[in-house]
Structure 1
Amino acid sequence: MIQFSLKCDEEHVFDSWFQSASAFDALKAAGHLFCTVCGSNDVSKAIMAPRVSTQAEAAPEKPLQTAQSDQEKALTKMRREVEKNADYVGPRFAEEARSMYLGTTPERAIYGEANGAEAKALIDDGVPVMPLPFLPNRKAN
């Protein structure tokens, strides 16, 4: 795992963990990175200082304690609400959202995955959608 400091085109700065540097690149190329503040998907790595210590300076390992900011707490709450109250449709999101918009399937709360082109087409056609500031869990409810 690697932690990157990220920023969006609106200059919002936030941190996120990735499986690897190439995982970051793949998510960025697929259009799956979004600003946790404004939702912009124009996200890049910000300048950051490496965390380096010598063996003599290294403290004994302690369990990590993560203090959540108010923003992180709000995002966690949002994720729980979405996962509790909406159906995960995975990569069928664009198809499902369009089908509900056209009235061919009953309306319900859904969330899932769409690439940039699919999302833009939905928005251009007036389908009410919005990006979530987190990646969905890849499991159906």
Structure 2
Amino acid sequence: MIRYALACDHGHEFEGWFSASSDFDDQKARGLLECPVCGAPDVRKQIMAPAVAGTKRNTPDLPPKARAVMMEALGRVRRHVEENFDDVGDAFAKEARAIHEGKSEDRGIYGQATPAEVKALVEDGVPVAPLPPEPPKKTEVN
């Protein structure tokens, strides 16, 4: 895995993990990258010092047990949302706005929205948050 320091045109900095160095370029060319803060599609690599393996580590990895607890908690959050909220599919932005404006029943919803739709919702004060990703399937883990 390769970790890149990334930034969007709005100055939001974040990191991305890629299987190979060519994956960043491939995903960027296909329009698959976006800023997790504002949804901007123009993402670029930042200058960063390479990680050089040595005998000392400044920041230890998360212990396996703590990592397992965290992943289980994220999985429970996702399952709770999927079991108790209404899946509105690609109408998420429209329905979230309608609920916020009192034009639709106040309830928990989830679905899909484009980065531009999410940005507009956030700018208008509509509370939204990303759903934790699905945990990897056992067959997909190395």
What TM-score do you get using the length of structure 2 for normalisation? 0.52
More helix by share: 2
In structure 1, C-alpha distance between the alignment counterparts of 2:109 and 2:125, rounded to whole Å = 17
Gaps of 5+ in 2: 52-64, 135-142
| Unaligned stretches of 5+ residues in structure 1 | 49-66, 136-141
Match of 2:99 in 1: 100
Corresponding residue for 1:122?
A: 121
1:67-98 per-position Cα deviation (integer Å, ceiling 9, x unaligned): 99322111111111110111111111100000
Instruction: Give identity over the alignment, percent.
Output: 37
* Counterpart contact for 1:5–1:14, Cα < 8 Å: yes
1:11-64 per-residue CA deviation (whole Å, 9 max, x = no partner) reads 8878689xxx55785432xx4x85xxxx7868889x89xxxxxxxxxxxxxxxx
Length, aligned pairs only: 108
Q: Return the structure number with greater relative CO, CA threshold 8 A, min gap 6.
A: 1
Structure 1 counterpart SS, 2:87: strand
How does the TM-score come out when normalised to structure 1? 0.53
The alignment yields a C-alpha RMSD, in angstroms, of: 3.9
Q: Indicate conservation of the 8 Å contact 1:8/1:41, yes or no.
A: no
Structure-1 residue corresponding to 2:32: 27
Q: Secondary structure at the match of 2:32?
A: helix
